[in-house]
Amino acid sequence: MEPIFAILVGAFFTVAIYLFLSKHIIRVLMGAAILGNAVNLLIFTAGRVTREVPPIIGGDSDALSDFAANPLPQALVLTAIVISFSFFAFLLVLGYRAFQELHTDNSDEMRVAEPMAEPSPPTGY
Amino acid sequence: MAGKSEPLADLSVAYTMDKVPAADWLVAAPVVWCILLGAILLMLRKRTDIQPLVAIPALGILVLMTFALLAHVIQNGTVTMTMGRWLPPFGISFTVDLLGAFFAATSALVALGAGIYGRSDVDDTGRRYGFYPFLLLIMAGILGAFMTGDIFNLYVWFEVLLISSFGLLVLGSERKQLDGAVKYAFLNLVATTLFLVATGYLYGLFGTLNMADITVKASELRGTAPLMTLVTLYLLAFAMKAAAFPVNFWLPASYHTPRLVVSALFAGLLTKVGIYALLRILGMLFPFEREELSFLIAIAAALTMILGVVGALAQNDIRRSLGFLVISGIGVMMAGLALGSPAGLSGAIFYAAHSMVVMTALYFATGIGARLGGSFELTSAGGLYARNAFLAAMTLILFLSVAGLPPFSGLWPKIMLVKASLDIGAWWLAGAILVTGLLTTITVGRIWVLAYWRPAPGEGPATMVPASLSAGATIALAGLVAVTIAAGVWPEPVMALAQDAARGLIDPSAYVLSVFPVEASQ
C-alpha cells in the first residue's frame, strides 16, 4: 500500500510545485491547497498504512489492544488539515483583496511595495 | 468503566497522578497569559481607549513572568512540564532550558516596548482592526515556540505566530500592505509546509516527536535512517523563516509596508524564531548532521551577511535599508551555527538577543524621526538633529550598536564569532563578519549624516523648529537603548548566560534528564 501512496504524494507535490511556478496568484493559491493535501497524505503514510483495529478502548478494558492502529499520525493530520484549511481561507481572501486593490493577479505587475523606478540614495552630502 | 479487567499494559509508565509542582506552572504561564489576554482584548476590540490600558500592564506582567522563569531556570536548571498527566514522550512537554528562557525574556521585553510605542503609533482604526489582540497572540506563538519540547507543537506555535503576523501585516489593508502581504504569506506558507514535511518524515523514522526523546534516539538511528535528508529539509525550512540567502526575498518585499510598530516587532522577533529553531533542531537534536552541513551553512551565512548589507546600502527608503540589515544580522547568527563550537553557538545566541532589542529600537527611532517631519526617503529627509537632539543621539547609539562598534551590545557577539572562526582557521568567515561590520557602518553612517545631521533639503537652519517626542515613544526607545548600552558596557552576565545556553545545546544531557528523570537516573 505504501508505494502507491508514496507515488501519489509525489504527484501531488509535483502539481503543487508546478502551480507555484506560475505568475498568477490564483494558480499559486491552488498550488497551496494541493501542497497542504500532499503533506497531509505524507504524514498519513509515514504513520504506516495498515488494516488494523481502530484505536478505541472498549468498555471492558483500560488499554489499547496490541493490534490497534497508531492514532498519533491521525491526530497530526487532523491538526495539519485545520491549519492548512484556515491558511488557505486567509490566502484566498488576501489574494482577492489584492486583486481588488491592485487590479492584477500577475505577480510581475504587483510592484506597489517595491516600485521598479525607485530613486537611488543620494551619493553626495 | 475502567478497571474491570487486568490492564494490558503497565500504565504507570504512561501517566502520573502526581501533582505538578507549583514552580512548574511558570513554564506554561506566559503562553496561557498571552492567549487569555489576547481573548480579553478581542472582546474589548471596540473600546479603543481601554485597549492599551489593558495590554501594556499585561505585557509588563509578561516581562515579569518570563524573567521569573529565566531566574528559575538559571537557579534550578532546565524545567519540564508535561500536559495532561501523561508522561513524556506520550504527553506534549514544555521544556524550558536556558536558551528558551533567555530568548523568551528578551522577546517579552521587546513586546512591551512595542506595546508602549504602539500606543502613539497605532490609531483608532488600527486598534479596531485588532493591533493589541494580535500583539498578544503573536507573543503566545513566539513564547510557545521558545518553550515547547515537542517538535510538532513547535510547528503549531509557528502557525500561531504566522497567522497573527498576517493580521498585523495587513492592519489597515492599504495597497502597499496587500502587495507585501501576498509575498510574505505565500513564501512563509511554503516554509512552514516544508517544516511539516520534515516533521512527517521525522515521525515516520523515530516514532516520537518529543525533542529529548529524539536527541537520545538520533544516535541509535544514525547510519540506518536517512537523517541527512531530514536535517537538510529542516535547514531549508528554518533558513526560509529566518530569511537567510537565497530564500530571503520575502523580507525586503514586506517589512517596510505595515505600520512601523509592526515592522519593528517583526524585525526584532520573527526571524529570530527561525534562528532559535535552527539552533534547537540542528544544534541540539542533530549535531552530527549539522557538522556535515556546516560548510554549506557557512557559505549561506557569509552570502547572507554580505548581500544583506549591500542591499541595505542600495536603498533610498530607510525602512527598507533596515530590513536588509535584519537579513545581514541573520547571516552573522548563521555563522555561529555553522561553527557549532561553544564559542560560535554562544556568539550566535548573544547576537540574536542583541539583534532583537536593537533592530526593534531602530525601527522605533526611524518611525519617530519620520513623524518629526523628516521622511523615510533619504533624498528628502534631513534636519532631525536640529529638531530633536535626544532622538539623534539615541539613533546614533543604535546605529553604532548594529554596526558592532564599542561600547554597545553589538561588539561582543561579533568578537566571539570572529575569534571562534579564526580558532578553526575559517579566516574567510571571520573576514565576512568584519567586512559586513564595515559596510554596515557605512550604511548607517550615511543614513545618520543624511537624515539627521544635514539640514532638511530646501530648508535653512533658521527655519528649523525643535520638536518634542511623545512620552510613550520616548520610554519605549530609551528603554531599549538602555538595554543595548547595559549589555555593551557590562557584557559578562549576558555572555555567561549565552555560554551556558550554548553548553546546554552541545551537551543536551541536562535537557534529557529534565524530561526523563527516572530513565536517566537508573
pLDDT digits (tens, 9 = 90+) for B215-264: 988 888 888 888 999 999 999 999 999 999 888 888 988 888 888 999 99
Where does the pLDDT of residue A90 fall: very low under 50, low under 70, confident under 90, or very high at 90 and above? very high
Query: How far B115 CA sits from the closest chain A CA (Å)?
Result: 26
Give the per-residue SS3 of B143-177: HHHHHECEHHHHHHHHHHHHHHHHHHHCCCCCHHH
- What pLDDT does B462 receive? 52
- Cis peptide upstream of residue A122 (ω within 30 degrees of 0): no
Q: Determine, for residues B193 and A111 on separate chains, whether the beta-carbon distance falls below 8 Å.
A: no
> Each residue of B172-226: pLDDT tens digit?
788 888 888 999 999 999 999 999 999 988 988 888 899 999 998 888 888 888 8
- What pLDDT does B417 receive? 94
Q: Is A68 helix (H, G, I), strand (E, B) or coil?
A: strand
Cβ neighbours of residue A8 closer than 8 Å, sequence gap 6 or more? A41
Q: What is the ipTM of this complex?
A: 0.91
Closest CA to B107 of B49, B155, B161: B161
- What pLDDT does B5 receive? 47
CB B100 within 8 A of CB B147: yes
- What pLDDT does B2 receive? 43
The cell numbers describing A108, all together, are 510581475
Query: How far B36 CA sits from the closest chain A CA (Å)?
Result: 21
Q: Which H or E run includes B476? A: helix B471-489
Q: Determine, for residues B178 and A86 on separate chains, whether the beta-carbon distance falls below 8 Å.
A: no
The cell numbers describing B219, all together, are 544516535
Average pLDDT over residues B293-299: 93
> Each residue of B433-491: pLDDT tens digit?
999 999 999 999 999 998 888 887 776 655 566 777 788 888 999 999 999 999 999 99
Residues of chain B with Cβ-Cβ distance to A72 below 8 Å are 203, 209
| pLDDT at B393 exceeding the cut of 60 | yes
Nearest to A25 among B159, B182, B254 (CB): B182
Average pLDDT over residues A31-57: 83
pTM, rounded to two decimals: 0.93
In A, residues 56-75, which contact B (CB 8 Å cutoff)? 59-66, 72-73
Nearest to A60 among B4, B177, B252 (CB): B4
Measured over the CA atoms of residue B243, residue B482, residue B478 and residue B383, the dihedral's sign is: negative
- A-B contacts at Cβ under 8 angstroms: 133
Q: Is B340 left (phi over 0), alpha (psi -120 to 50) or beta?
A: left
Radius of gyration over every alpha carbon of chain A, rounded to an integer in angstroms: 22
**Strand ranges (DSSP E) for B19-139?**
79-82, 93-96
Q: Determine, for residues B178 and A101 on separate chains, whether the beta-carbon distance falls below 8 Å.
A: yes
B130 vs B111: CA distance, rounded Å: 16
Looking at domain A2-53+69-109, its CATH architecture is Orthogonal Bundle (1.10)
Query: How far B12 CA sits from the closest chain A CA (Å)?
Result: 12
- What pLDDT does B11 receive? 65
CA B432 → CA A38, B23, B116, B440, B521, distances in Å?
A: 40, 45, 37, 12, 45
Residues of chain A with Cβ-Cβ distance to B204 below 8 Å are 45-47
Which of the pair, B17 or B424, is modelled with greater confidence? B424
- What pLDDT does B464 receive? 63
Where does the pLDDT of residue B521 fall: very low under 50, low under 70, confident under 90, or very high at 90 and above? very low
Percent of chain B with pLDDT over 70: 94
B255 vs B37: CA distance, rounded Å: 26
**Strand ranges (DSSP E) for B299-389?**
none
B267 vs B364: CA distance, rounded Å: 11
| pLDDT at A106 exceeding the cut of 90 | no
Query: How far A52 CA sits from the closest chain B CA (Å)?
Result: 18
Average pLDDT over residues A9-32: 93
Residues of chain A with Cβ-Cβ distance to B190 below 8 Å are 20, 35
Measured over the CA atoms of residue B79, residue B80, residue B81 and residue B85, the dihedral's sign is: negative
Task: Tell me whether residue B347 is exposed, middle or buried, using C-beta atoms within 10 angstroms of its C-beta: 0 to 12, 13 to 18, 19 or more.
Answer: buried
DSSP designation for B452: I
CB B440 within 8 A of CB B404: yes
| pLDDT at A85 exceeding the cut of 60 | yes
| pLDDT at A92 exceeding the cut of 60 | yes
In A, residues 14-43, which contact B (CB 8 Å cutoff)? 20, 25, 28, 32, 35-36, 39, 42-43
Q: Determine, for residues A86 and B190 on separate chains, whether the beta-carbon distance falls below 8 Å.
A: no
Where does the pLDDT of residue B389 fall: very low under 50, low under 70, confident under 90, or very high at 90 and above? confident
> Each residue of B79-123: pLDDT tens digit?
888 887 788 778 888 999 999 999 999 999 999 999 999 888 888
Q: Determine, for residues B193 and A98 on separate chains, whether the beta-carbon distance falls below 8 Å.
A: no
Average pLDDT, chain B: 88
Q: What is the secondary structure of B260-309 as a DSSP string? A: HHHHHHIIIIIHHHHHHHHIIIIIII-HHHHHHHHHHHHHHHHHHHHHHH
- What pLDDT does B522 receive? 44
CB B109 within 8 A of CB B465: no
Lowest pLDDT segment from B25-29, B326-330, B419-423, B496-500: B25-29
Q: How many CB atoms lie within 10 A of CB A125?
A: 8
CA B201 → CA B60, B126, B178, B227, distances in Å?
A: 40, 41, 34, 9
Q: Determine, for residues B181 and A59 on separate chains, whether the beta-carbon distance falls below 8 Å.
A: no
Q: Determine, for residues A120 and B253 on separate chains, whether the beta-carbon distance falls below 8 Å.
A: no
